Structure 1
Amino acid sequence: MNKLRKLGWSSTNEDQDTQLMARVTTVQKNSYRISDGEMEFLAHVSGKFLNDAGSSLDFPAIGDWVEVKKLRDEGKAVINRVLPRKSRFIRQAAGEVTEAQIVAANIDTVLIVNSLNHDLNVRRIERYILSTYESGAMPVVVLTKKDECTQREVDQAISQVEEVAIGVPIIAISSVSGEGMVDLLEHLPIGRTAALLGSSGVGKSTLVNTLLSSEVQETKGIRESDSRGRHTTTHREMFMLPNGALIIDTPGMRELQLWQGESAIDTTFQDVEQFTDKCRFTDCKHETEPGCGVKAAIGNGELTKDRFQSYVKLQRELAYEKRKQDQKAKLNEKNRWKQVSKDLRSKYKYNR
């Protein structure tokens, strides 16, 4: 039991046979590395798992607890089942296909990493906060490369982020000088799991190296013209920090495409929703209606137009994604019944 606890095993899993349990610590395409707190194994899913899986969400993700058959002599294991997740950060997979992708599972905290340079983007931070609340984890905004900025620039950046990160901790750090690391570690207590999320070049891998006091992750520079980074981390990997916390490094995401977030809109945009509640009409569209609380707030400076437009844009995007997902679900169900009918006809023909 103790060997699993250091991997983040909690009391909610007490009814499981711990001899069969392990945690996914690395995901690289279709291969997995898992740990039972004592030994690491190279793992793959069983044939039954493949047959039973209904979608990409059913497959193991970094941070998952899995039930496995261990082949200790070979250093390999077969994954038979994924335990229920307490949290999961999901995004719309890259490309044209409507498909969900789990970035990390069973995480307590999401460290939303932005650098204090040209890459600072409050609209992107809004998206990450929304998806984090929807995942079941808690967000913390981490602003890196403090050593490259003046204190005035740092204060201005924090002020910008505060306008969209309502009630969210914001920590400015320097992986070079170590400034801010003590504050950051307060959000990384023993036995808790955090995921580092952000664009390429914002300093996620450098931060991991700093926290571990070891060069475990390769790092690359950024273009000076626009502060854009190059992809360094190519897979998801979990590390144990000296203080007993666990941290997951992930490849940079140029843009976070939302998959879900309807239930987290009110938490993410609580500043906007306090004004929508003041509208005279419950179906107010905040356009030309009289007695609109939102228009009044924008007019007197209590709410910025950009913040409200972002709120509307994300609501529309979520509604659009929901329609696409519903259409895909209907198509999948139709194809499934077609296959069932085809199988039944073949079986009937064979039995005759």
Structure 2
Amino acid sequence: MPRVELSDLGWTTDRAAALPAGSEAARVVRVDRGRLTVLTAGGERRAHPAPALRDDVVGGPAVGDWVALRGELAVAVLPRRSAFTRTAAGRTSAAQVVAANVDTVLVVDALTGPARLRRVERYLAVAWSSGAAPVVVLTKADLCPDVPAGVAQVAEDAVGVPVLAVSSITGEGLDAVRALVPAGATAAMVGPSGVGKSSLANALAGHEVAGTRGIREDGRGRHTTTARELHRLPGGGLLVDTPGLRELGLHDDAEGIDRAFADVAELGTRCRYRDCGHRGEPGCAVAAAIDDGRLDPARFTSWRKLQAEAHRQQLRVDARARAEERARLRAVHRARRTQPNRVR
């Protein structure tokens, strides 16, 4: 089994302080029903998490994590530098780590069909919250009749984020993506099914690392990647390929929303009132920007929707936030009861 330099897997010497005595460092490359495939200095191995890690959705091992191994047992997850996290699918408020310790999040969408701006905004909000730097990658450039116009439309909403057009067929734009993942760096590809993530992973790797299938007759994408997996690229970078996410529920993404909607947040600082709700108050800079065409009303609606979703999620997981919200609502009701002209 060939030996591997840990630095080639993204290891930095300052992580050693968090490594428990008597254990060795390993990076998680795949998780299958609780069983781990990891890379160590000695090569690839199989391991399983210690009982204390198995039931912790956020703290348990995820693809990209560094874990401490004792034999075939992962006894600890080392502190994460970043994590792309969503609310787990279904009726739950639990967080699910999609990829950990990534430097760049590649938000992948396709240039075929109308631009899915609202979807890109949602992914960017979560990406900004991860602690990694987001980049939008628009695939299938070979099938788009006007690539510059398609890129410009997305770039207008992806404030402060690079937008790249690529084709896994012709090779257009691949070098620009490779440059984002130098030796020892890690990128994670996220996006819905059918946008070309698997084809892009294969093109970047130079050989097939993920199966590819076409779009279904109803236009929906097919799930070709069935599990998150960390791949080593020829240039020394590392790439996390993820299955298409049918749901991307926000989880503690308030800061990420502000970054993804930096233009709306900046306008909000110009409102006459600090607590302006942007609902018709006098001196509202957001309303003025919508009226004179500087802000797309659909983008503002998307921002408000994501803000409300993040607030609801915070209330679900944060007891203190729930108590503050109840106190705020009680104060509103008391104020209404004391209004002299209140209809009785």
Which position in structure 2 is the counterpart of 1:67?
68
- 1:99 Cα deviation (Å)? 1.2
Instruction: Report what 1:189 is aligned to.
Output: 182
Pairwise CA distance, 1:224 = 5.5
What letter matches 1:236 in structure 2? Answer: R
> Structure 1 length as normaliser, TM-score?
0.86
- 2:148 equivalent in structure 1: 155
Tell me by how many angstroms 1:155 deviates.
2.0
| SS in structure 2 of the partner of residue 56 of structure 1 | coil
Q: After superposing the two structures, state which structure 1 stretch, 271-280 or 189-198, moved more.
A: 271-280
- Provide the residue aligned with 1:11 in structure 2: 13
Structure 2 equivalent of residue 283 of structure 1: 275
Q: Of 312, 327, 330, which aligns to 1:320?
A: 312
1:29 positional shift? 2.4
The CA deviation at 1:83 is 0.3
> How do 1:125-274 residues align onto structure 2 when only pairs under 5 Å count?
125-150=120-145, 152=146, 154-223=147-216, 226=219, 228-274=220-266
Aligned-residue sequence identity (percent) comes to 45
Superposition deviation, residue 126 in structure 1: 0.8
Give the deviation of 1:10 after TM superposition.
Answer: 1.6
Report the CA distance shift for 1:269/1:49 in structure 2 as closer, same or farther (over 3 A): closer
| Runs of 4+ more than 4 Å apart | 327-330
Q: Provide Cα deviations, 1:198-252, integer angstroms capped at 9, x if missing partner.
A: 01111111111111111221110113653x2111111111111000000000110
Q: Which whole-Å CA distance do the structure 1 matches of 2:37 and 2:4 have between them?
A: 20
Q: Deviations over 1:286-307 (max 9, x none)?
A: 1221111011111111111111
**Structure 1 match to 2:330:** none
The alpha-carbon distance between structure 1 residues 328 and 102, as it changes in their structure 2 partners (threshold 3 A), is farther
* Residue of structure 2 equivalent to 1:339: none
Larger mean Cα displacement after TM superposition, 18-27 or 304-313? 18-27
Q: What are the Cα deviations for residues 86-139 of structure 1, in whole angstroms up to 9, with x where unaligned?
A: 001110111112211100000000000001113741111111111111110000
Q: Is the 8 A contact 1:21 1:36 kept in 2?
A: yes
Q: Does structure 1 residue 106 correspond to structure 2 residue 101? A: yes
Q: Structure 2: which amino acid aligns with 1:141?
A: V
Structure 2 stretches lacking a partner, 5+ long: 323-344
Query: Structure 1 residue 115 and structure 2 residue 110: aligned?
Result: yes
Determine the C-alpha separation between the residues in 1 that align with 2:206 and 2:85: 30
Q: The residue matched to 2:26 in structure 1 has which SS? A: strand
Provide closer, same or farther for how the CA distance between residues 27 and 119 of structure 1 changes in structure 2, counting only shifts above 3 A: farther
SS at match of 2:5: helix
The answer as to 2:30 corresponding to 1:29 is no
Distance 1:212 1:328, change over 3 A: farther
Q: Which moved more, 1:170-179 or 1:91-100?
A: 91-100
Contact 1:112 1:141 in 2 (8 A): yes
Match of 2:77 in 1: 82
The one-letter code of the counterpart of 1:89 is: F
CA contact 2:63–2:228 (8 Å) conserved in 1? yes
Contiguous gaps of at least 5 residues in structure 1:
71-76, 331-352
Q: Is the 8 A contact 1:205 1:233 kept in 2?
A: yes
> How many Å apart are 1:189 and its aligned residue?
1.1
Q: CA distance change for structure 1 residues 327 and 180 in 2, over 3 Å: closer, same or farther? A: same
**What is the TM-score of this pair, normalised by structure 2?**
0.88
User: Does the residue aligned with 2:313 lie in a helix, a strand or coil?
Assistant: helix
CA distance in 1, matches of 2:117, 2:13: 37
Residues 261-317 of structure 1, C-alpha deviations (whole Å, 9 max, x = no match): 112232221111221111111111112211110111111111111111111111100
**How large is the RMSD of aligned CA atoms in angstroms?**
2.0
Given candidates 44, 47, 50, the residue that maps to 2:51 is 47
Residues 288/329 of structure 1: CA separation in 2 closer, same or farther (3 Å cut): closer
The 1:213/1:298 distance shift into structure 2, 3 A limit, reads same
- Judged with a 3 Å threshold, the aligned counterparts in structure 2 of structure 1 residues 111 and 324 are, in CA distance, closer, same or farther, namely same
Q: Note closer, same or farther for the CA distance 1:302–1:49 as it changes in structure 2 (3 Å cut).
A: closer
Q: How many residues align?
A: 318
